[in-house]
């Protein structure tokens, strides 16, 4: 008698992750096939963020977790965090899609919350804050703490297990003296789906048919 084989399937989050990876790979292939125009690369970064942020919200709901997004406009980077059992925000390390993403120095990230632009200086550990995040020794030479012991800043954007999302607008910017200023944005109204404006680059770029006419 042949023993029955155990059937294995895929969870919804695994299928979603595969779809996101396929989308990112496709975008990468398109960018590399048609050139490395800075505007195209910026659009790809915005598309990537839109896909990963959407997946983060779904992941939080399906797994009943609280997710957060930390955006560092000074380092042009962002990464996802989650609450641990002690209600501390910790980086998400079990999924590479949610780890730190740093953009090229030619680009800029601008975050708006409730219509107001967010800057890193608005956080507790700013240049004019009560505490200096680089301070580890008091004026008397007594060690009062290590820099690595300073808790990381809390996330500006929340993806809650209820499906609620902080209302925000994240703008990806690129400026070039010849190409001009290019922007793409992703925003939330408090829930999925996320809104996006990813068409700015296509408004001034000639189509493939127009390019063929120029080369004829």
Domains assigned to the chain? 12-121+153-215 (3.55.40.10)
Mean pLDDT computed over 113-122 = 64
Statement: residue 214 has pLDDT above 90? no
10 Å CB burial of residue 98 (0-12, 13-18, 19+) is buried
Picking from 96, 98, 101, 64, the residue whose alpha carbon sits closest to that of residue 83 is 64
Tell me the C-alpha to C-alpha distance, in Å, between residue 167 and each of 41, 147, 192: 26, 32, 11
Picking from 74, 60, 90, the residue whose alpha carbon sits closest to that of residue 151 is 90
CA distance 81 to 59: 12
50 token code pair: 């839109």
CA distance 197 to 126: 31
Mean pLDDT computed over 105-121 = 79
> pLDDT digit string (tens) for 163-204?
999 999 999 998 877 767 889 999 999 999 999 997 654 444
State the pLDDT at residue 175: 82
Mean pLDDT computed over 115-143 = 47
Mean pLDDT, rounded, of the chain: 75
> pLDDT digit string (tens) for 38-94?
888 999 999 999 999 999 999 999 999 999 999 999 999 999 999 999 999 999 988
3-state secondary structure 158-192: EECCCCCECCEEEEEEEEECCCEEEEEEEEECCCC
């Amino acid at each position: 008698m042949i023993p029955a084989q155990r059937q294995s399937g895929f969870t919804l989050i695994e299928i979603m992750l595969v779809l996101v990876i396929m989308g990112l790979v496709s975008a990468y292939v398109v960018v590399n096939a048609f050139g490395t125009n800075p505007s195209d690369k910026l659009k790809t970064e915005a598309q990537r963020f839109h896909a990963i942020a959407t997946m983060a919200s779904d992941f939080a709901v399906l797994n009943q977790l609280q997710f957060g997004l930390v955006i560092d406009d000074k380092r042009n980077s962002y990464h996802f965090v989650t609450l641990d059992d002690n209600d501390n925000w910790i980086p998400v390390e079990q999924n590479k899609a949610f780890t730190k993403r740093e953009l090229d120095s030619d680009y800029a990230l601008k975050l708006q919350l409730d219509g107001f632009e967010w800057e890193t200086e608005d956080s507790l550990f700013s240049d004019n804050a009560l505490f200096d995040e680089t301070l580890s020794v008091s004026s008397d030479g007594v060690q009062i703490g290590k820099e690595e012991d300073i808790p990381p800043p809390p996330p500006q954007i929340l993806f809650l297990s209820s499906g609620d999302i902080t209302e925000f607008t994240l703008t990806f910017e690129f400026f070039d003296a010849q190409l001009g200023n290019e922007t793409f944005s992703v925003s939330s109204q408090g829930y999925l789906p996320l809104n996006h404006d990813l068409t700015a680059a296509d408004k001034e770029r000639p189509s493939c048919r127009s390019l063929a006419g120029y080369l004829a």
